[in-house]
Amino acid sequence: MKNICISKNDMESTLFKIFIKYNFTKEKAKLLSEVFTENSLSGVTSHGINRVPLFIDYIKKNLVNKNAEAKKAEALGSIERWDGNNGPGILNAITCTNRAVELSKTHGIGLVALRNTNHWMRGGYYGWQAAAQDCISILFTNTKPNMPAWGGQDLKLGNNPFIISIPRKEGHIVLDMAISQFSFGKINDYKLKGENLPFDGGWDNNGNLTNNPEQILESEKSLPIGYWKGSALAMVLDMLATILSAGNSTYKIGLDEYESGVSQIFICINQTAFRDSNLQEKLLKEIIDFTHQTTHTKPGEKTYYPGERSLKTRTENLKNGICVNQSIWQKVLEL
């Protein structure tokens, strides 16, 4: 199926109409349409426009309470626990990121642990959100079981997306990665394009590693980054998200047919508290320049710092329009 190009304004206005139709307030509809569009604009359609039909399906099935909002449950100085009340994951994550930023401005560091929330779509969005407010951030979420623990065959771990952001005048640094080699959204992107993954991304139903996206989506067995190391990291992130929020673990989330009620962590550090911003900028530039100055594996290629490609893609998409799979856009229009 071929792609079509949609302008930022057209995508945002279309999504706004959809969310209004499904009885979101104007304020929430505007925020949701902005986030889904921004994710797509940055080249992450897998967690942007492609997810809109699924998000609406969850609303229809009452798996997401569109009227619920995250509320503070416990306060321990710079650490707080919040309950998402099964509300929209995007809105809950924005609220908790902003709260972690506020805590960091008072205490130097702030941690908000959120339970009973839903898929936050592109975790990197909240890294950019924190960086825009001069905060370093460390964010992560657990998920339903979608990876085997290393050495096993059954689904026991989540691919638990992990984000680190660092503010920088010349372009924020934002690492946004699942603990699987490819997120399931990205695997589905390759399926829609009719292409194989560039590297093995999971197992087929016969227990063989494969780069065939359809086989991985069928088995639901993704490959952890770094093999056994990624397996251990996924487990520890789940443990931290669960105990800090007093919420659901990957095990508990997996007891239901659909993924909901996940646990998330939002840690922000007030970068300006150190009062040496010029030194920080110098040190970051030193690291980036050192990495850029390398012999490339192929002619015309270059190395990137985390977030650099997103900035480049965003600029290109603002000029040329957002590339969207035609069948996905048709599903969105039908909503």
| Domain's final residue, options 193, 223, 253 | 223
Are residues 151 and 110 part of one domain?
Answer: yes
pTM for the model stands at 0.95
Are residues 7 and 139 part of one domain?
Answer: no
Domain that holds residue 317: 1-61+305-335
What pLDDT does residue 255 have? Answer: 97
Active site residue 47: yes
Do the Cβ atoms of 321 and 7 come closer than 8 Å? yes
Q: Which H or E run contains 56?
A: helix 52-60
- In total, how many domains does the chain have? 3
Q: Which of 47, 107, 292, 296 is catalytic?
A: 47
Do the Cβ atoms of 46 and 176 come closer than 8 Å? no
Are residues 244 and 164 part of one domain?
Answer: yes
Please say whether the dihedral angle defined by the alpha carbons of residues 47, 120, 63 and 66, taken in this order, is positive or negative: negative
- Maximum distance among all Cα pairs of the chain, rounded to whole angstroms: 56
Are residues 91 and 5 part of one domain?
Answer: no
Whether 300 maps to a domain, the answer reads no
Whether 298 maps to a domain, the answer reads no
* Each residue's pLDDT tens digit, 173-189: 999 999 999 998 889 88
User: Quick check: helix, strand or coil at residue 291?
Assistant: helix
Are residues 153 and 22 part of one domain?
Answer: no
- 86 residue type, one letter: N
Instruction: Give the separation between CA 170 and CA 167, rounded to whole angstroms.
Output: 9
Query: Look-up: residue for tokens 């594996």?
Result: 297
**b or e along 254-281 (b: 16 or more beta carbons within 10 Å of the residue's beta carbon)?**
beeeebbbbbbbbbbbbbeeeeeeeebe
Are residues 134 and 266 part of one domain?
Answer: yes
Query: Look-up: residue for tokens 């130097």?
Result: 108
CA dihedral 152, 217, 207, 156 (to 10 degrees): 10
What pLDDT does residue 1 have? Answer: 60
Are residues 45 and 20 part of one domain?
Answer: yes
What pLDDT does residue 297 have? Answer: 80
pLDDT beneath 50, residues of the chain? none
What pLDDT does residue 295 have? Answer: 87
- 153 residue type, one letter: Q
What pLDDT does residue 145 have? Answer: 97
| Domain's final residue, options 208, 223, 238 | 223
